[in-house]
Structure 1
């Protein structure tokens, strides 16, 4: 049995190039995420200021995602992604150098996070809507699940490496390695032979608002897309704030240092990786709403369980299960939206997806950071889990009305 029998997206040369480049780059990204979060805590000892970093990083996405979708629908996606990935390499190098020279301050991390936020506003919808151009609709769910798999494999490897390197060599090495890792994805993009879309430059200045309105009207008239997006918005805001909650929980509740934090995030990555590979292996069965609802309910349940205990080992196990159900939910939601989107609206639809998936992070980060500062991460995990379960059950109760429209 060939590997492509289970993972047919890998039969597409362009997707293989993109996927392998992402595999290297994402390990570096997770190393920087872990290093940056722990560095902020060391500099400030404040969960609120840690949440503020995350909020600022996603603020541009919240404000400008809808306009970014119009840009993605007008210009070649490959060239847009080349620009954003190259720029990420530069910002990582700056962060690494400032840290190595021991002149890094909180406000400098804040500014670099904001710059990365603007880059992500274009990068995320461009990458998400580029996948279908690489594999087509038939293998889309498989490709999305494989992307989730490589993302979460990186979540295992990156934090574990970062935890060791921080303890041995400091923070700067993590940021330098992240900067270098973008070379792999840039080479892959250069070798890819499709652009993603033919540029539509006619009336570029006068049609932006009209194009934006057309995209919003299209989403409004597609109940499956609309309600899936709303479900992502709620769970992203209140239940996917692990980058804020886990380091605070690790330090203040479990009383562990950077290595312990890195291993916990790796445990979550293991669960997410298994979930992604499971979803990829059954992708030939098609997109099934049961995956969407099971993912949302399971995510909420295991967050509640994290909040009612204080064992390091049990936390690692529960984070692994949280990762499994989170990736099941997000991959199913992404596929459901793209499969039901017309080609000419996909950039705008995925920009709204980016808005509710990452753009609400400033709200979610401030919610998690503030609630954790006031009541502790225990209570925040429990409240987040209750919200995720409650809204998932609400959408499930309206299943026939939404998915048969």
Structure 2
């Protein structure tokens, strides 16, 4: 009798454990942001924009002082640039929600390039006057006012929500780098080739930024230019109604306005502390600014690597608390190394605060309302120069230390009050 034959095939060994040499290591999350289509172009374009903006401000101050020999004229030029940033973002936000944000951002960069070219020509011909500088500063400020809502709205359109905090941190890191590199670059160009060439090169930087942004994708939400759209007046009404009906946005707007007006009084007082109180002179003053700047950079890197938690209000409270008590410590410190350490820690806390508050504004905006919501953010951030005025004026009236204490009261206590009155913020 024939015995049956059994064929036993080997069963492959299956394991869920990674085998040596068979797996690919995923890059850290901060680098995964660069795999998002268009983000690298947007980041490079914004870095060029920030370098150009800071370099242009430095060149403007130099040329105006060279023309007039007056700090008053230098201040007037800066003030002229700031006025439109307080007035136009509301309209800019409505426009950003109606048209392709990339084209709007490219228009801003091209507009600033044209302003810089005009200044270069006037300088080369030797016919520039102080009133030219004031008019061109006003024109540049008007153009820049249309950039802020469009940029932050476009960033949220382009980057998924889970990666938004890291993307925002990388953008702010680029802004800090621009603030450090811009004045150095423009100072070297003015010294070696003249202010006219400085403005011409700045124009080229802006144009490179325009090319980069036009080659980025539209993002998840992009308004169609062929679809029926409400009028500008109706768009503004819709934006105001949306903000009023949202339980969180009004308090976010109050918080960012309060902090930028009353919570930054330390900045106009730093020169006096360096020269009269700590007696460290201009070099020591530069080191104080550097300590704050390094803290801001470390804060940006930390957020980029770690990200922000899903609930960001605890981050806002803790960072605000650190900033306020660091500011009080600065006001009463008579020990220079302690002052540097406090400024460094304040820089780290300040960057966490800025990333968290920006993230909250972006979360509270739907795609079609994002430009108008970020206009509120832009207005609040645009109040920062008034914070310098507030701090300097109050210090002249009541003294440095009381001014610092009043400034601190505009931060953490108001945020705690907002959380107490708004359940939506407690959940944010």
Give TM class, smaller chain.
Answer: 0.7 to 0.9
Q: Residue in 2 aligned with 1:8? A: 32
Show CA shifts across 1:108-158 (max 9, x none). Answer: 443332212211221100101000222222322221111112112333333
Map residues 1-400 of structure 1 onto 2, 5 A cutoff.
3-36=27-60, 46=71, 52-95=76-119, 106-159=130-183, 175=199, 177-194=201-218, 197-199=222-224, 207-240=231-264, 256-257=281-282, 264-283=288-307, 285-309=309-333, 315-358=339-382, 360-361=383-384, 363-371=386-394, 381=404, 383-398=406-421, 400=423
Cα distance change on mapping 1:50 and 1:281 into 2, 3 Å:
same
Show CA shifts across 1:309-347 (max 9, x none). Answer: 477665554433332222211211111121222111111
Cα distance change on mapping 1:371 and 1:393 into 2, 3 Å:
same
Q: Distance in 2 between matches of 1:251 and 1:101?
A: 40
Q: Distance in 2 between matches of 1:334 and 1:149?
A: 14
Give structure 2 stretches of 5+ with no counterpart: 1-24
Cα distance change on mapping 1:161 and 1:230 into 2, 3 Å:
same
Give SS of 2:161's match: coil
Q: Distance in 1 between matches of 2:359 and 2:259?
A: 17
Show CA shifts across 1:262-286 (max 9, x none). Answer: 6554433221121112112222643
Contact persistence 2:55–2:202 (CA under 8 A): yes
The count of residues paired between Structure 1 and Structure 2 equals 401
- Cα shift at 1:302: 2.7
Q: Distance in 2 between matches of 1:252 and 1:99?
A: 38
Q: Which has the higher helix share?
A: 1
Q: Residue in 1 aligned with 2:6? A: none
- Structure with the larger RCO, 1 or 2 (CA within 8 Å, 6+ apart): 1
Give structure 1 stretches of 5+ with no counterpart: none
Q: Distance in 2 between matches of 1:260 and 1:285?
A: 37
Range 85-94 or range 105-114, more displaced: 105-114
Contact persistence 1:28–1:174 (CA under 8 A): no
- Cα shift at 1:5: 2.5
- Cα shift at 1:38: 6.6
Q: Distance in 2 between matches of 1:94 and 1:376?
A: 44
Range 324-333 or range 148-157, more displaced: 148-157
Give SS of 1:228's match: helix
Q: TM-score, normalised by structure 1?
A: 0.82
